A and B are shown apart, each in its own frame.
Chain A
């Protein structure tokens, strides 16, 4: 970039970034969008397209997408649509021993790589299925009035604000990591996070077992199912459709009915009165559906 000494250089930077002679910007962006849907980008080093980065697995496809991205007026939405309508995206994650032996890292996209939902999607899904997700535009966080601010390094701002809105609206600050996002590998706001790790640790399981947030969503999910119909079989089917987007199999329905009977029996033994048994039994079943791998892994 020429340094002519006039102005701040921002215009020149913008022109260089968006110049038709510089294919890198569009490539980097479409790669990010691709990675968002597939777990891995066409370039598997999303923050490094240089000599030390990894070469694209599909260079022609990357350039095709980059060209289309520019031609569509840099529309992220149009790029999402094109990728989601592709055959590769719509492939199942079914295993194949021959393909696996040929391409163990699935760089040729012979299947869809099963993925765990990210932290935000897990929380959003729980809110959505329980019917408590607030889809309206959120206002600002309940920050204290500025004239009361006395924050110093000795008394820093450390609030965590809850919200029923999508997790993208959770407040983020550098000094105090949002505890839920930290638990499920959310980005550390201190570092540019091109790719998140996906760790599986027991404290995440404890969250599904005992966290008040999960129990709250399970209670609301149960109330939703109980209110919808009086037939247990139909309720189980509805619970599967809401939580997993598919009907329950016959085996699953039988197993769930048996489970609910046993749970009610357990509640009776714990001294819970008859009219108070349905809600906790269904809430327990809801927690099973939420905690199961099927809920947080996409095939």
Chain B
């Protein structure tokens, strides 16, 4: 990608080299060179749209993240033998990060599984609505992560790292592809609460700050500083003209400085945002049928259904990466005490997610939108106590799904052993998951690099395999 160390852009250099007195190049040719320059991504504007490494169907990502660890054996990974062998013991070779041999009691799932849709993929009654649209999903039953704790595993699902925070997948996407609508952020995070690892999950770390996720807290004021504070709109227009005039005079003596002109432009965009962003969050013009699809009450401006519908509106308006987080670091899917705690959390998201898939499909947007459903890890199919009602953290195997642009539909990929303890075939490590998501967006995970601290960093570090088997 572009060299972050060069202090002046090629455009700027060319203007001074060729654009001055006695120009050697015709203006048209100079323009052409600059245009080609921008197409390769060496523009002065770090968020300008960039061509992907190769053509891809998916143009944007909606990333659904469920905090706390959704149980795979209670949702997308049917295990008849786990029902049958309830109460029997198994020997496992590690317990919550502590090495050694342990005898543990198998615990049957609390939701029944049925084949759903034409594909017959089994989904449990925990997610009846998602089950309804299973023919549009590519369920992955063999996800693997590297850590058994929330903090590290949440960081890994977002940044590929379990130790130091690294740029979030959304930040990499913004860096790699830029964004088409400058009146909205390139990477938007709709999150009522902060997940484990805090806002490191949507941070940029060493990537330029403009690629950081902008967090939107569902409610009446989704983006900070969007509302004008002057006594009238006319007064703000007056202020804007005066600012423009001062900056123009300043610029007249400093011609050709791309940084100064970019900042003048950023104020124009900010005025655009003031107008466009509230409209993007305003659901008043959505039909009753659409609201019903998501299970959203008219007038509501919170809840996962609101997040899902806003995600579709952001996708329509060209936001590159939209992340939805359902709950924060407490009262989440971390059902140690009782698996039934999954029920209200599932009810909060199930219909809304199915509504999103259906809505995108009806509008023809599922073909060029990639929807990702994931969590930081699964939950143990066994417990220390025979009568335990909950389940512990389980990163050896868990489930997620992809849907939309470039992914096979109605496919269940990978599998676990008879109890859902280990991956049995076709493992998809988080690095592979990330490599595949980047690939679906037209980015080669080995080429999307950024030079930091003496080496080229990647989202997938030194790992990652594109799961070609699930590509449409």
Q: Please list the residues of chain A having a beta carbon within 8 angstroms of any beta carbon in chain B.
A: 39-40, 44-45, 47-48, 50, 52-54, 93, 95, 97, 100-101, 104-106, 113-114, 116, 153-156, 158, 174-177, 179, 182-186, 188, 190-194, 197-212, 215, 252, 255, 259, 262-263, 266-267, 269-270, 272, 280, 284-285, 287-289, 291-294, 297, 299
Contacts and interface: CB of A to CB of B under 8 A. Distances in A.
A192 B453 contact: yes
Contact of B203 (A50, A188, A198, A199): A188
Most buried by A among B205, B225, B267: B225
A104 B12 CA distance: 9
Contacts of A50: 454
Contact of B235 (A155, A192, A204, A270): A270
Nearest to B208: A197
A154 B154 CA distance: 13
Contact of A267 (B4, B204, B231, B264): B231
Most buried by A among B4, B262, B266: B266
A272 B228 CA distance: 17
A105 B13 CA distance: 8
Contacts of A183: 209
Most buried by A among B196, B200, B255: B200
Contacts of A262: 238
Contacts of A287: 239
A288 B269 CA distance: 17
A280 B235 CA distance: 10
B251 interface: yes
Given A100-B17, A205-B270, A206-B274, 20 more contacts: A48-B454, A95-B254, A95-B256, A101-B20, A104-B17, A105-B6, A154-B329, A175-B197, A186-B209, A188-B165, A201-B210, A203-B185, A209-B271, A255-B245, A266-B235, A267-B231, A272-B231, A289-B246, A293-B251, A293-B263
Contacts of A154: 329-330, 334
A70 to B, nearest CB: 26
A184 B209 CA distance: 8
B150 interface: yes
Contact of A202 (B183, B238, B239, B242): B183
A164 B59 CA distance: 44
Contact of A188 (B5, B205, B231): B205
Given A104-B13, A156-B198, A200 B214 contact: no
B274 to A, nearest CB: 7
Contacts of B329: 153-156
A296 B359 CA distance: 45
B27 interface: no
Contacts of B238: 259, 262-263, 266, 284
Contact of A288 (B6, B224, B243): B243
B225 A206 contact: yes
A293 B263 CA distance: 8
Contact of B266 (A40, A155, A158, A204): A204
A233 B312 CA distance: 53
Contacts of A272: 231
A175 B154 CA distance: 13
Interface string B1-42: 000111110001100110011000000000000000000000
A242 to B, nearest CB: 16
Most buried by B among A106, A209, A211, A215: A209
A289 B245 CA distance: 11
B102 interface: no
B224 A175 contact: no
5 contacts: A155-B330, A174-B198, A177-B200, A209-B225, A292-B250
B246 A205 contact: no
Which 8 interchain pairs have the tightest Cβ spacing? Answer: A175-B198, A205-B270, A199-B210, A197-B208, A202-B269, A190-B165, A210-B225, A100-B16
B260 interface: yes
Contacts of B260: 114, 293, 297
Interface size class of B (residues with CB under 8 A): 35 or more
Interface string B246-261: 1101110011110110
B259 A198 contact: yes
A206 B396 CA distance: 45
A158 to B, nearest CB: 7
B453 A291 contact: no
Contacts of A285: 242
B453 A47 contact: yes
Contacts of B259: 114, 116, 198, 200, 297
B8 A104 contact: yes
Given A106-B7, A291-B243, A190 B205 contact: yes
A203 B453 contact: no
Nearest to B6: A105
Given A200-B263, A280-B231, A53 B454 contact: yes
A52 B452 CA distance: 12
A45 B453 CA distance: 9
Contacts of B330: 154-155
A174 B166 CA distance: 12
B199 A175 contact: yes
B285 to A, nearest CB: 24
B195 to A, nearest CB: 10
Contacts of B228: 209-210
B273 interface: yes
B243 A202 contact: no
B334 to A, nearest CB: 8
A293 B270 contact: no
B247 A292 contact: yes
A179 to B, nearest CB: 8
A104 to B, nearest CB: 4
B452 A191 contact: yes
Nearest to B9: A104
B306 to A, nearest CB: 22
A284 B47 CA distance: 30
Contact of A104 (B16, B21, B150, B229): B16
Contact of A270 (B8, B224, B232): B232
A276 to B, nearest CB: 10
A9 B229 CA distance: 59
B8 A176 contact: no
